[in-house]
């Protein structure tokens, strides 16, 4: 293999810069014979003469001029390479690929990313907000660094940590027949029609499970692929819905929607931070993980540990 000795090349560059072996030796803190020996070895390995001495002056030969141009490019690239490796060791640079399920990704993570961005303004964040089924696929195939989701039923070893409790509430327009009632029995829901999320949604899974456990059929009026469409549909009187409390702040404030007080609700799921156990997290991803775990909301602190992808009910719930 042909090689180029970088140490000799660096010496060559300094001799060329000064057009003098003596001044190069002074800069390098070597003896002049040591510098000459380096240049001779380089000339031998390349098979060309790099300097010629005319009178008392040292000049670059044609080959020397050419090598000087290349040496500048080579050392520039080496600098760039070292900068890039430094950046990868630092949490302040680089790319962060994260994924979140539809609800967390829409209503919780933007605020968290705003705070993270203030601390790490140069990190390039790429966020995927998608259905949990897609998230699991992206996680398992190593397309994302970290994901936040309510379900971590994956077949590979993963790191899992609770991030936030997800209270799922029944919502309806203020004019709904159950809006003013308190402690409505679950059985009353058998008369209601529901707007539900798409298959694969954790919210939908919890609703179906609650009805299954109560032994009553779930009547679906319409399936809609996102929370905003469901809120519009509920407000328009198309049915009631189970939605995350975090998705309802504005609608509750302007009294466009209300939360129904039905026994057994809210259902509580748990959002979790998940990454592949074997994943080598970059410094940036490690910084985000630490940041997220620090931010675990005190008000909605972690719910009791639940089995994967399922929910718990309030202790006082009766069906």
CA dihedral 26, 27, 31, 37 (to 10 degrees): -130
Q: Tell me whether residue 35 or residue 242 sits nearer to ligand PGA (CB atom).
A: 242
DSSP string, 113-176: HHHHHHH-TT-EEEEEE--HHHHHHHHHTT--SEEEES----SS-EEEEEEEEEEEEEEE-TTS
d(CA 35, CA 40): 9
* Least distance (Å) between residue 220 CB and ligand PGA: 15
Q: Measured from the CB atom, is 203 or 284 closer to ligand PGA?
A: 203
Identify which of residues 8 and 166 has a Cβ nearer to ligand PGA in the complex: 166
Give the footprint of ligand PGA on this chain (CB under 6 A). 101-103, 131-132, 149-151, 166, 197, 201-203, 269
CA 234 from centre of chain? 32
Provide, rounded to whole angstroms, the least separation between the CB of residue 243 and ligand PGA.
Answer: 9
38 versus 201: smaller Cβ distance to ligand PGA: 201
Select the residue whose beta carbon is closest to ligand PGA and give its number. Answer: 202
Decide whether 15 or 135 has the Cβ nearer to ligand PGA: 135
Inter-axis angle of helices 6-18 and 21-28, nearest 10:
120
What are the strands, taking DSSP E only, across 57-156? Answer: 57-60, 95-100, 124-129, 146-149
- Cα(285)–Cα(180) distance, rounded to whole angstroms? 47
CB of 179 to ligand PGA, least distance (A): 24
CB 12 within 8 A of CB 67: yes
Task: Compute the least distance from the CB of residue 177 to ligand PGA, in Å.
Answer: 26
Query: Within 13 Å, how many C-alpha atoms sit on residue 168's CB side?
Result: 30
Q: Which is nearer to ligand PGA, 149 or 224 (CB)?
A: 149
Shortest approach of ligand PGA to residue 206 CB, angstroms?
A: 7
Q: Which residue has the tokens 């500048």?
A: 72
Which of residues 8 and 311 has its CB atom nearest to ligand PGA in the complex? 311
CB of 278 to ligand PGA, least distance (A): 24
Q: Smallest gap, in angstroms, from Cβ of residue 317 to ligand PGA?
A: 19
Nearest alpha-carbon partner for 136 in 202, 188, 78: 202
């Amino acid at each position: 293999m042909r090689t180029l000795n970088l140490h000799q090349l660096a010496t060559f560059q300094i001799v060329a810069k000064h057009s003098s072996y003596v001044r190069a030796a002074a800069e390098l803190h070597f003896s002049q014979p040591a510098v000459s020996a380096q240049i001779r070895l380089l000339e031998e390995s390349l098979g060309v003469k790099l300097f010629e001495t005319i009178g008392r002056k040292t000049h670059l030969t044609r080959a020397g001029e050419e090598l000087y141009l290349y040496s500048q490019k080579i050392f520039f690239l080496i600098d760039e390479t070292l900068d890039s490796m430094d950046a990868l060791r630092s949490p302040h640079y680089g790319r962060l690929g994260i994924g979140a399920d539809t609800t967390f990704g829409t209503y919780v993570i933007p605020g968290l990313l705003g705070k993270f961005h203030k601390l790490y303004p140069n990190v390039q964040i790429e966020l995927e907000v998608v259905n949990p089924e897609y998230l699991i696929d992206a996680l398992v195939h190593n397309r994302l660094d970290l994901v936040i989701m309510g379900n971590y039923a994956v077949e590979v070893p993963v790191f899992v940590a609770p991030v936030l409790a997800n209270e799922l509430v029944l919502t309806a327009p203020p004019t709904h027949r159950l809006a003013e009632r308190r402690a409505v029995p679950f059985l009353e829901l058998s008369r209601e029609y529901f707007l539900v999320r798409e298959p694969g949604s954790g919210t939908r899974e919890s609703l179906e499970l609650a009805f299954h456990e109560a032994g009553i059929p779930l009547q679906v009026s319409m399936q809609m692929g996102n929370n905003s469409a469901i809120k519009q549909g509920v407000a328009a009187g198309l049915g009631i819905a189970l939605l995350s409390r975090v998705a309802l702040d504005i609608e509750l404030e302007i009294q466009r929607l209300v939360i129904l007080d039905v026994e057994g609700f809210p259902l509580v799921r748990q959002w979790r931070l998940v990454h592949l156990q074997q994943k080598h997290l970059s410094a940036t991803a490690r910084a985000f993980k630490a940041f997220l775990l620090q931010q675990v909301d005190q008000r909605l602190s972690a719910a009791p540990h639940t089995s994967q992808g399922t929910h718990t009910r309030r202790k006082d719930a009766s069906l």
